Amino acid sequence: MRAQGFENPLDFSQLPVDVRAALRHYDERVSDHLRRARDAVIPGPWKNHRALPKIFLTHLDKAFGVYDESLRFVLSHLHRSGWTVTCAPGCHYCCTQLPSGLTGVEILYLYHGAFRAGVLDRMFRRSMERMEMWGEICRWDRENPANLSIGLRTAERLGRYHTLDVPCPFLHAGLCSFYRQRPLACRIHFSLSPPHWCRPDHFQYAHAVRFNVEPSSQVMDDLQRLDESLELNLSDLLVCGFVECTVNVMAFRPIRWLENPH
């Protein structure tokens, strides 16, 4: 678990034993569902028809549902420890960031949400627009190289993207259109400072106290294995990965959900 530039309220090694044990138990449950989802993948139907057993989706839904439970548990622990997390339903200033570090299966999950809601074309167009903005930032960067490591350069580019103040393609009327399918990067991001400080044009933006409740390596490993079983090889940036998934993996088709694959 990592925080940005302030005393970390979530230093795992400093958490009480019972809290650590509870979090490990949540991780086990999340991993169990991710492994069951992986076991459900049948290579032939997936490769040839983009078909997956319905049970795959059931386990994916459950994995993310349990993950949300674990986050609520973390927030209640923080609250009991005297920290006040200021995030509230409907707050969306952070939805002008470009979510990064996504696994392919998280992007596929969003794709499913967009298709099922009948808005894939619109989401695709919006993602393309954001991808072009990101491309502009990367081009400018290449023409004006700074002496930065790859990690720092990406962080710097992401920071610059945020200052453009462009809403995520999936944000509609201040709400996430695919809240249930939103990626981990969106689930784990919180603030201790006033919400409007998260706005990139706010004068206190640089002093906003935001932090991520990082997923455990166990959960990340299981998500990566799920990616491998689906042979997804997508950009880890939300808009780029979504465009790649739509064109290269799904070719604008729905995922076919199989009742009884055997």
Q: Closer to ligand SF4 at the Cβ: 179 or 252?
A: 179
Q: Which of 50, 76, 70, 68 is nearest to 182 (CA)?
A: 68
Q: Closer to ligand SF4 at the Cβ: 45 or 167?
A: 167
Q: Closer to ligand SF4 at the Cβ: 192 or 219?
A: 192
Give the nearest distance from C-beta 253 to ligand SF4 in angstroms.
22
CA dist 67 and 187 (Å) reads: 9
- For residue 40, the SS3 value is helix
Give the nearest distance from C-beta 57 to ligand SF4 in angstroms.
18
Give the nearest distance from C-beta 67 to ligand SF4 in angstroms.
14
Beta bridge partners of 172: 175
Angle between helices 120-143 and 150-163 (to 10 degrees): 120
CA dist 1 and 153 (Å) reads: 22
- For residue 145, the SS3 value is coil
Q: Closer to ligand SF4 at the Cβ: 34 or 192?
A: 192
CA dist 115 and 217 (Å) reads: 30
Could you tell me if 85 and 75 are in contact, meaning their C-beta atoms sit under 8 angstroms apart?
yes
Give the nearest distance from C-beta 199 to ligand SF4 in angstroms.
8
Q: Which of 221, 195, 217, 219 is nearest to 208 (CA)?
A: 195
CA dist 97 and 158 (Å) reads: 7
In the block, residue with structure tokens 């994995």: 63
Q: Closer to ligand SF4 at the Cβ: 43 or 174?
A: 174
Q: Closer to ligand SF4 at the Cβ: 56 or 170?
A: 170
Give the nearest distance from C-beta 18 to ligand SF4 in angstroms.
27
Could you tell me if 97 and 158 are in contact, meaning their C-beta atoms sit under 8 angstroms apart?
yes
Question: Which residues sit at the interface with ligand SF4, rule CB under 6 A?
Answer: 86-87, 91, 93-95, 99, 168, 170-171, 176, 182, 186, 189-191, 195, 198, 210
Going edge to edge, which strands form the sheet with 189-191?
A: 2-3, 210-212, 189-191
Q: Closer to ligand SF4 at the Cβ: 3 or 258?
A: 3
Give the nearest distance from C-beta 55 to ligand SF4 in angstroms.
25
Give the nearest distance from C-beta 136 to ligand SF4 in angstroms.
20
